[in-house]
């Protein structure tokens, strides 16, 4: 609803008229990839350990970097590859205690869960690379209007195929869904999509590895939680921050906004 209002106010929906058939399919495909990312990773968490799911889905910065080099001709430099590797090592450090923990439930379907986590990483990577390409010719609301709409339709189809009931939902769950839509989706994903118009996809995607840092700070300061982070979280979070800093301070990145317009190509 908010995206529809933004489209109506800005008139950016008119940009859809000048999209080539190829770019329209890319936009719809990006929405489908986002839906598959949500479905596959959330399903994976119930089949394997949370730590394993997090580590595997966090391989996406490397996948994004490879796809960016092949499809967009935006290859990371040596310094940026080092930064990506350092940040991924930091994410592994954060999850290491949980990976080594023993639990009563051995996760008998862990292999399927691990596979779905990798699917979640690949689909997210395709989503980010597609967004980098399309933001060269579409403003923010025109882009997210197409992608979020396609994502919604695909998620409804997946729910129907799996037999998952959508209604009725208790008021508490509806409030949680609304908060997720306004926070992580509208502000989080839309913020990433805005950044794709200014930075390479591998830089924007790498910022996702900073989520544990933000989550740790929130958990530590909220009185109802007051969760003190362990050594692995602090060390791993610091390593992730260093990796991100190394990546985003690559020389010559000021030309990215000029390079972006070249990615769209002729309609």
What pLDDT, on the 0 to 100 scale, is given for residue 99? 63
Burial class (CB in 10 A: 0-12, 13-18, 19+), 249: exposed
Place of tokens 């060390």: 235
* 255 vs 46: CA distance, rounded Å: 43
CB atoms within 10 A of CB 187: 11
What pLDDT, on the 0 to 100 scale, is given for residue 130? 96
CB atoms within 10 A of CB 44: 27
**Token pair for 94:** 């954060």
Mean pLDDT split into 10-residue runs, the chain, 267 residues: 92 94 96 95 83 82 94 92 92 74 58 90 96 95 96 93 85 88 87 94 89 71 73 84 85 46 48
Our separate counts of H helices and E strands in the chain read 13, 0
CB atoms within 10 A of CB 46: 12
What pLDDT, on the 0 to 100 scale, is given for residue 225? 65
SS3 of the chain = CHHHHHHHHHCHHHHHHHCCHHHHHHHHHHHHHHHHHHHHHHHHHCCCCHHHHHHHHCCHHHHHHHHHHHHHCCCCCHHHHHHHHHHHHHHHHHHHHHHHCCCCCCCCCHHHHHHHHHHHHHHHHHHHHHHHHHCCCCCHHHHHHHHHHHHHHHHHHHHHHHCCCCCCCCHHHHHHHHHHHHHHHHHHHHHHHHHCCCCCHHHHHHHHHHHHHHHHHHHHHCCCCCCCCCHHHHHHHHHHHHHHHHHHCCCCHHHHHHHHHHHHCCC
Provide the sign of the torsion angle of the four alpha carbons 6, 12, 17, 20, taken in this order.
negative
* 267 vs 20: CA distance, rounded Å: 5
* 107 vs 109: CA distance, rounded Å: 5
Contact 84, 239 (CB under 8 A): no
What pLDDT, on the 0 to 100 scale, is given for residue 109? 73
CB atoms within 10 A of CB 12: 18
What pLDDT, on the 0 to 100 scale, is given for residue 211? 73
């Amino acid at each position: 609803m908010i995206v529809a209002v933004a489209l109506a106010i800005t008139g950016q929906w008119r940009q859809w008229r000048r999209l080539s058939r190829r770019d329209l399919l890319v936009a719809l495909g990006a929405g489908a990839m986002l839906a598959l990312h949500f479905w596959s990773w959330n399903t994976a968490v119930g089949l394997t350990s949370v730590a394993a799911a997090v580590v595997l889905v966090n391989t996406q910065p490397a996948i994004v970097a490879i796809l960016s080099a092949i499809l967009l001709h935006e290859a990371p430099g040596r310094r940026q590859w080092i930064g990506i590797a350092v940040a991924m090592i930091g994410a592994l450090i954060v999850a290491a205690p949980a990976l080594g923990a023993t639990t009563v439930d051995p996760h008998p379907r862990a292999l399927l869960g691990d596979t779905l986590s990798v699917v979640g990483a690949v689909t997210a990577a395709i989503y980010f690379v597609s967004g980098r390409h399309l933001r060269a010719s579409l403003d923010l609301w025109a882009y997210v209007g197409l992608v979020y709409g396609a994502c919604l339709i695909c998620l409804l189809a997946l729910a129907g195929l799996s037999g998952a009931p959508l209604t009725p939902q208790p008021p508490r769950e509806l409030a949680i869904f609304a908060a997720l839509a306004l926070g992580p989706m509208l502000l989080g994903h839309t913020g990433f999509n805005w950044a794709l118009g200014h930075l390479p996809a591998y830089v924007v995607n790498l910022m996702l590895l900073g989520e544990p840092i933000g989550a740790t700070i929130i958990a530590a300061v909220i009185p109802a939680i007051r969760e003190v982070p362990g050594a692995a979280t602090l060390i791993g979070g610091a390593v992730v921050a260093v990796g991100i800093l190394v990546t985003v301070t690559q020389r010559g990145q000021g030309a990215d906004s000029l390079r972006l317009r070249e990615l769209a190509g002729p309609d």
